[in-house]
Amino acid sequence: MQYVIQTKNVTKQYGKTAVLKGIDLAIQSGEFTAIMGPSGSGKSTLMNVLSTIDQASGGEVWLEGTSLLNMKKPELRKFRQEHMGFIFQDYNLLDTLTVKENIVLPLSLRRVAAKEMEERLLPIIQALHIESILDKYPSEISGGQKQRTASARAMITKPAIIFADEPTGALDSRSATQLLEQLAALNAKFGATILLVTHDVYAASYCRRVIFLRDGHIVNELYAGDQGQQAFYERILDTQSIVGGAGR
C-alpha cells in the first residue's frame, strides 16, 4: 500500500489558539478525497500544513515517505514545486499569457523541451475539453474554463498530489458540475491523487472518500464504495447534519 501523504499527531497553533489538535491521516496514491467541515474547523489550515504552505506546530508529515519536518524554506519551496499541484478558488492565472502558456508555465520554468511539453499537454487538455481555447487569454474565457485551465496547469507536472482549495467556490452550478466531472475523470484516467477542501456537499460527493473535521479533530469519514454520486451525496448530507457544518 503506497501512501502519498501521512501525518502523525499533527497540531497547529496560532498564539494560544489551537486549530489542529492531533491529526492522524493517510492518503493513498490515486485517492480522490474531500476534507469537509464548518468554518473554523481547521480544514484550510490542514491543507496548508499538508502542502507545506504553513508549518505544523507539532507532529510529523510525510510526503511519499519523505519527512517534511526538518526541511528549510528553500527546500520546502523546491519540494512543493516538484511534487505538488494546486487549484485555487481564484484561478491564479497570468493575464498576459494565453491558456496554453499558463498551462505549460511550470514546465517552461524547468526548461522542459518543447516536444515533451506538447506530449504532456495533449492528453490533459483533451480530458478537460479545453482544446479550443488554447490561444485565448484569461480575460476571454469563462470562469469554468479558467478553472479547467488551472486544473491542467496543476496536472502538467505529474505531481504526487493535487491540492484543490474550494475549486468550485467562484463557479455557477453548471460550470461547477463540469469541473467536478472532469476532476473525477482525471482521477480515474490518470490515477491523479486529489485532495479537495470544501464546505460543499455537492462537490464532496464527486470524491471517493470524505473526511470530516470539527474543532481541529477528524470526527468521521465516509467511503463511496460502489455508490454513485447521488447516493453518496445523500450519505454525506446525513453525516454532515450529525457532525455539523452547512451544505449547499
Provide the CA 222 distance to its chain's centre, in angstroms: 18
Mean pLDDT by 10 residues, the chain (248 residues): 91 95 96 93 94 93 89 88 90 95 94 94 94 97 95 94 92 92 91 94 96 95 96 95 62
pTM of the model: 0.91
Q: How much is the pLDDT for 248? A: 40
Which H helix or E strand runs over 242? helix 229-243
Backbone φ/ψ region at 146: left (φ over 0), alpha (ψ -120 to 50), beta: alpha
Q: Can you give the pLDDT at residue 71?
A: 86
Q: How many CB atoms lie within 10 A of CB 172?
A: 12
Buried b (16+ CB within 10 A) or exposed e, 102-129: bbbebbeeeebeeeebeebbeebbebbe
Measuring CA to CA, which residue among 207, 123, 200, 107 is closest to residue 159?
Answer: 107
Q: What pLDDT does residue 95 have?
A: 96
| Residues ≥6 apart with Cβ < 8 Å to 122 | none
Strand-pair partners of 5: 27, 63
